[in-house]
């Protein structure tokens, strides 16, 4: 297992290998790759080709028609007695509007609204990542720190080959040399060269506090534990970002359900919870980017050679903090919507 792990990290330094490029590209452009992987789902939703959304809309529309049919009996009775009074019209507008949104073009209006919320969230997140802190944008700080830490662990794994070399030998001229140190210097020089090539490829800035694999634990077992931890943390980080994007998509899919449930005479309309969900997810996405960006900018501007620091922040600490902020903001928004709904909308939503 340790040999396989070493070989895996060794690929990071081989620029001619396509898999190695994919691995480093993932470390540099992880968040954008996650967002772009769901573009087709959102395009299907916007174009009306999403089968999941169609099925949810069909069931929700059927429930809405049934509810309105029952209420139409009382409406008919009141119309015969009061005519088209303001009170009767107010009671009819909201249910009929819901049925209209669900039945016209398979809920296309609702799908477009969901897509708008998603685009707003992604746009705000991009603006957050474009903020400059300590002379570097949060996006470039995250990309640079991730790339350098990936290459640092790769160099560390390669240097384990140098441990097998003797610490003292004679060259062709008879001078005493240290083949082990020479091997390590060559490995570090090569991996830094490859890292610089990737920086130039992506236009990433360089900073003075560069990593040095020699400052990391040099024993094989520590190297392998750090490498395995780095891989696990990277997987957790990617998994969290995927879950957030899936949550955005799921919130769009279940929109018809929340809309039709708003027909019930609840104290708080479920549609408020749906809108609060969008706000909560947006706060989660932005909070995660802010925390990761601040941590990364601190790394590139301070002497920190621990390759697991940023991965730990991205995989565990940032998600916890982002979820806490997002859930708190969503609950506050839902409470605000619920308490002010009648004041803003009058009797329409009764």
Rounded to the nearest 5 degrees, what angle is found at the Cα of 252, between the Cα atoms of 111 and 259? 80
Check residue 349 and give its pLDDT. 42
Domain chopping of the chain, boundaries = 2-46+107-345
Q: Centre a 10 Å sphere on the Cβ of residue 346 and count the other Cβ atoms it contains.
A: 11
pLDDT score of 18: 34
Reported as a single tens digit per residue, the pLDDT across 24-36 is 555 555 566 777 7
- Give the pLDDT score at 210: 55
Q: Which of 87-101, 220-234, 254-268, 336-350 shows the highest mean pLDDT? A: 254-268
Nearest Cα residue to 102 out of 62, 47, 50:
62
The answer on pLDDT for 16 being more than 60 is no
Q: What share of the chain is helix, strand, coil (3-state, %, to 5)?
A: 80, 0, 20
C-alpha neighbours within 13 Å on the C-beta side of residue 110: 32
The number of C-alpha atoms within 13 Å of 35 and in the hemisphere containing its C-beta is 12
H or E segment at 2?
A: helix 2-10
Q: If we measure between CA atoms, which residue out of 103, 114, 120, 116 comes closest to residue 250?
A: 114
Q: How far apart are CA 252 and CA 40, in angstroms?
A: 14
Average pLDDT over residues 297-323: 81
pLDDT in tens, 217-238: 444 445 667 777 877 888 888 8
| 3-class SS of residue 346 | coil
Question: In this predicted structure, what is the pLDDT of residue 284?
Answer: 94
pLDDT over 90 (residue 149): no
Of all residues in the chain, what percent carry a pLDDT higher than 70?
71
Could you tell me the two tokens for 60?
């929700």
Q: For residue 116, what are the contacts with CB-CB under 8 A and spacing of at least 6?
A: none
Q: What is the longest distance spanned by two Cα atoms in the chain? A: 115
* 324 pLDDT more than 80: yes
Write the CB contacts of 282 (distance below 8 Å, at least 6 apart in sequence).
Answer: 117, 120, 121, 124, 125, 326
More reliable by pLDDT, 102 or 192: 102
pLDDT digits (tens, 9 = 90+) for 118-131: 999 989 999 998 88
Buried b (16+ CB within 10 A) or exposed e, 35-48: beebeebbeebbee
Please say whether the dihedral angle defined by the alpha carbons of residues 115, 116, 117 and 120, taken in this order, is positive or negative.
positive
Three-state DSSP class for residue 303: coil
pLDDT band at 9 (very low <50, low <70, confident <90, very high): very low
Share of the chain above pLDDT 90, in %: 17
Confidence of residue 291 (pLDDT cuts 50, 70, 90): very high
Please give the residue that has the higher pLDDT: either 295 or 177.
295
CA distance 280 to 48: 26
If we measure between CA atoms, which residue out of 163, 164, 154, 167 comes closest to residue 193?
Answer: 154
Task: Check residue 13 and give its pLDDT.
Answer: 42
pLDDT value, residue 28: 56
Q: What is the pTM of this model?
A: 0.78
Residue of 265, 267, 270, 235 lying closest to 251 (CA atoms): 270
The 10s digit of each residue's pLDDT in 45-61 is: 888 888 999 999 988 88
Q: Rounded to whole angstroms, how far apart are CA atoms 65 and 53?
A: 18
Identify each DSSP E strand in 47-183 by its residue range. Answer: 132-133, 136-137, 169-170, 176-177
């Amino acid at each position: 297992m340790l040999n396989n792990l070493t070989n895996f990290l060794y690929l990071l330094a081989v620029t001619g290998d396509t898999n190695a490029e994919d691995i480093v590209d993932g470390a540099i452009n992880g968040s954008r790759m996650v967002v772009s992987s769901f573009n087709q789902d959102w395009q299907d939703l916007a174009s009306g080709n999403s089968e999941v959304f169609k099925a949810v809309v069909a069931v929700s529309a059927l429930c809405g028609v049934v509810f309105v049919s029952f209420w139409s009996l009382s409406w008919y009775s009141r119309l015969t007695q009061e005519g088209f009074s303001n009170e009767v019209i107010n009671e009819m507008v909201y249910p009929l509007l819901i049925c209209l949104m669900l039945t016209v073009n398979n809920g296309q209006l609702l799908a477009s609204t969901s897509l708008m919320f998603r685009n707003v969230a992604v746009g705000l997140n991009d603006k957050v990542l474009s903020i400059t802190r300590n002379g570097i944008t949060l996006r470039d700080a995250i990309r640079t720190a991730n790339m350098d830490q990936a290459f640092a662990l790769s160099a560390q794994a390669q240097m384990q080959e140098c441990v097998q070399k003797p610490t003292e030998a004679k060259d062709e001229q008879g001078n005493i040399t240290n083949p082990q140190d020479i091997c390590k210097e060559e490995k570090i020089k090569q991996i830094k060269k490859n890292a610089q090539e990737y920086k130039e490829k992506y236009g990433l800035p360089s900073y003075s506090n560069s990593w040095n694999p020699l400052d990391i634990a040099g024993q094989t077992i520590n190297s392998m534990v750090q490498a395995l931890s780095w891989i696990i943390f990277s997987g957790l980080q990617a998994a969290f970002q995927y879950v957030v994007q899936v949550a955005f998509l799921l919130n769009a899919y279940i929109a018809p359900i929340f809309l039709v449930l708003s027909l019930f005479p609840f104290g708080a309309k479920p549609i408020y919870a749906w809108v609060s969900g969008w706000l909560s997810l947006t706060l989660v996405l932005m909070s995660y980017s802010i925390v990761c960006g601040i941590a990364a900018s601190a790394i590139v501007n301070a002497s920190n050679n621990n390759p697991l620091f940023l991965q730990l922040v991205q995989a565990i600490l940032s998600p916890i903090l982002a979820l806490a902020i997002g859930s708190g903001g969503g609950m506050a928004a839902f409470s605000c919507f619920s308490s002010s709904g009648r004041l803003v909308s009058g009797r329409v939503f009764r």
